Amino acid sequence: MSQFAYPYAFALLFLPFIIRFIFPAVKGLHGDALKVPFISDLERISIKSGSLWNIGSANNEKIFSKFFWLLYLIWFLLVFAAARPQWLGEPVRLKNESRDILLVLDISNSMLTPDFSLNGYQIDRLTALKKAAGEFLKKRSEDRIGLILFGTRAYLQAPLTFDKKSVGEILWSMDAGMAGNSTAIGDAMGLALKTLKDAPNPENKIIILLTDGENNDGSLSLAQVTKLAQDEGIKTYTIGVGSPENMVSSFFGIRLGNQNELDEKGLQELAQATKGTYFRADDTNALQKIYNTIDKMEPTEHDERYVREIKELFYIPLIGAIFLSMGLALVLRRIN
């Protein structure tokens, strides 16, 4: 698509005819001519210097008549260039304001507890987490997502990135126990806060912490990281995973206890202190709904602003006018 930045410049195309109408011809030595006050001075200069422009001569009047349309074409090209022709690219929507979201996920051995179900089949907590978090990733197309996995140690598995595919691949490849058997929630939160603190986005920083246990390892307590998160102003959503009884039926119907008890009070205090929300997920549907709820609570603002690539094309008619002028000058030199 093309356009002109200054389309009103085309009014100048009538300028030569307007000047001819305003300044009527006068009778002179060489017949009808425009009355130009300094024409005699220019004529003397031209004669003395031997210029090809013997202005006012009958010969040049014939030349002017002969090359009138060529001269007007040069004028047309100059006006065309002055109108600034432009090429417009396809409209591109501006990227919306993005959020930096860190998923901090517990992958201790207790996440293998099979107290969740999917389509009538019993699955472990980690599988349910992968499904729910994977769906959440697909919905946050405008955000940068990072991934921290923790157990005894906390690891930044995926830095903040727009590449959701890579984050999803890491998410589905993780296994329980990869980071150790205990649960260092404090250290994982400390790593998350440090990662977001170094991020360039000064606002819209969010942590989603999911665990099925209590902070029983690491150097930082849950109370300490709660204070740090509150001071940094980083909103934290916390998700406690597991059935209310922390019990599960085995394949043979025997009730097996989960030794890692959930610290709901600490997770609630962390969420409340950072203006986030605490959720309890005791089955697959509840976990999926929690991520859907967080997605709605942190909507992506869709402004309908678009930009187009603009390429200036004025130089094309300008170059054409220059070459035509040079060619006309050579022709007149040969004539004279």
CB-neighbour burial class of residue 95 (10 A; exposed 0-12, middle 13-18, buried 19+): exposed
Quote the tokens at residue 294.
């967080």
Outline where the chain has alpha helix (H).
15-22, 39-49, 58-66, 68-82, 125-139, 164-173, 185-197, 222-232, 264-273, 284-297, 315-335
Give the chain's length. 336
Asked whether the beta carbons of 64 and 8 are under 8 A apart, the reply is no
Start and end residues for every CATH 3.40.50.410 domain found in the chain: 100-297
Q: Dump pLDDT digits (tens) for 200-243.
A: 665 688 999 999 888 998 899 999 999 999 998 899 999 998 76
* Percent of the residues in the chain that have a pLDDT greater than 70, as a whole number: 76
CA distance 164 to 133: 11
Q: Which residues pair with 331 in a beta bridge?
A: none
With a CB cutoff of 8 Å and minimum separation 6, the contacts of 150 are 104, 105, 106, 107, 108, 179, 183, 184, 185, 187, 188, 191
Q: Report pLDDT for 248.
A: 42
Q: Residue 19's closest CA among 62, 57, 75? A: 75
Q: Which CATH superfamily is domain 100-297 in?
A: von Willebrand factor, type A domain (3.40.50.410)
Secondary-structure percent of the chain, ordered helix, strand, coil, rounded to 5: 45, 20, 35
Least confident of 88-102, 236-250, 257-271: 236-250
Helix (H, G, I), strand (E, B), or coil: what is residue 82? helix
Do strands 278-281 and 235-241 pair parallel, antiparallel, or not at all (unpaired)? parallel
Q: Report pLDDT for 229.
A: 92
With a CB cutoff of 8 Å and minimum separation 6, the contacts of 253 are none
Residue 277's φ and ψ, nearest 5 degrees, are -140, 145
Q: Dump pLDDT digits (tens) for 161-188.
A: 888 899 999 999 999 888 888 899 999 9
* Helix H or strand E encompassing 24: none
Q: Report pLDDT for 61.
A: 57
CB-neighbour burial class of residue 167 (10 A; exposed 0-12, middle 13-18, buried 19+): buried
Q: Dump pLDDT digits (tens) for 41-77.
A: 545 555 444 444 444 445 555 666 677 788 889 899 9
CA distance 148 to 192: 7
What are the angstrom distances between the C-alpha of 211 and each of 7, 36, 108, 111, 327? Answer: 64, 92, 9, 8, 81
